[in-house]
Amino acid sequence: MRTLYQFPISHYCEKTRWHLDHKGLDFQVDNLFPGLHRLKSKRLAGIVTLPILKDGEQVIGDSTQIALYLEQHYPDHPLLPADATQRAEVLELEAQFDRLGVHVRRWLYGQIKQWDSVMHAMLKVYRPLLGLRDLMKPVLINGVQKLYGVTPPRVAKSQAELLEGLALIESRIHGDPSRYLVGDQLSLADISAAALFAPLFTPAGTPWAGIAGHDDKTQAFLDELHAHPAGQWVLRRYAEDRQRRN
């Protein structure tokens, strides 16, 4: 049995869930508690981040490394083109969007004014554990802000970075949300871009649908992004290509 060690609302974990679902691979999830997850992640893979995939005796950490592992060991429904030039393009774009995911996360955390709905979404899958879950909320809020560098200058820099990422999507699709980033079929680049930008656009069925906590100014900015070709592209990739099997 494959096990995906994850945080439910992590967009990096969503990236891996999408890969597994696209390949038609059965897996179970183990939702590790934020902060305490490090005890298990370091023991499993020597890292402090998630996702981690355990596939039989193989343990792979990092969403990109998991993607490459799945392509190598489960070649059906490929997400890397056979053409060498296109393959190189896909891998480069995948790496670029993987880096941009950090900026999406930091910017979103920087917009939160009311943390209640965010904490509920983050922690609702965990049992109360004699009140420990709720007692941990203030600690987690402070930890998230420190861990992800949620300061005004860095949040502003992340906004500029994520806008450049959305512009990159639009340049690749030539303003047409029906197009893929490379070639004429879904690739690792598309999944990386769509999954890592998804928290901005909250596609139906994702963990971010219904999470509030920001102000009207932020919502107006997000509404503007929704109307852009890149926003429509993310929503279209979810509507047409995100087939969930779990």
The total of structural domains in the chain comes to 2
CA 129, 134, 135, 140 dihedral sign is positive
CA separation for the pair 59, 44 (Å, rounded): 7
Question: Which pLDDT value is given to residue 171?
Answer: 98
Is the same domain home to 97 and 210? Answer: yes
Strands 2-6 and 28-31: parallel
In a domain, 157, yes or no: yes
Is the same domain home to 213 and 188? Answer: yes
Is the same domain home to 93 and 136? Answer: yes
pTM for the full model? Answer: 0.93
Is the same domain home to 10 and 101? Answer: no
In a domain, 169, yes or no: yes
Is the same domain home to 138 and 193? Answer: yes
Question: Which pLDDT value is given to residue 209?
Answer: 83
Question: Which pLDDT value is given to residue 245?
Answer: 66
Domain's final residue, options 53, 73, 93: 73
Is the same domain home to 164 and 97? Answer: yes
Domain's final residue, options 30, 49, 73: 73
CATH number for the domain spanning 54: value is 3.40.30.10
Question: Which pLDDT value is given to residue 78?
Answer: 97
Domain's final residue, options 42, 73, 104: 73
Is the same domain home to 125 and 59? Answer: no
Is the same domain home to 88 and 68? Answer: no
Is the same domain home to 216 and 145? Answer: yes
Q: Which long-range contacts (CB under 8 A, 24 or more apart) does 86-90 make?
A: 86/182, 86/183, 89/182, 89/189, 90/181, 90/182, 90/187, 90/188, 90/189
In a domain, 78, yes or no: no
Q: Please give the chain's pLDDT, 246 residues, in tens.
A: 899 999 999 999 999 999 999 999 999 999 998 888 999 999 999 999 999 999 999 999 999 999 999 999 999 999 999 999 999 999 999 999 999 999 999 999 999 988 877 787 788 888 776 566 777 778 788 888 888 899 999 999 999 999 999 999 999 999 999 999 999 999 999 999 999 999 999 999 898 887 777 889 999 999 999 999 999 999 999 999 998 765
In a domain, 161, yes or no: yes
Instruction: Write a three-state SS string for 83-148.
Output: CHHHHHHHHHHHHHHHHHHHHHHHHHHHHCCCCHHHHHHHHCCCCCCCCHHHHCHHHHHHHHHHHC
Is the same domain home to 139 and 92? Answer: yes
In a domain, 79, yes or no: no
Q: State which residues form the domain around 29.
A: 2-73
Question: Which pLDDT value is given to residue 5?
Answer: 98
Is the same domain home to 60 and 125? Answer: no
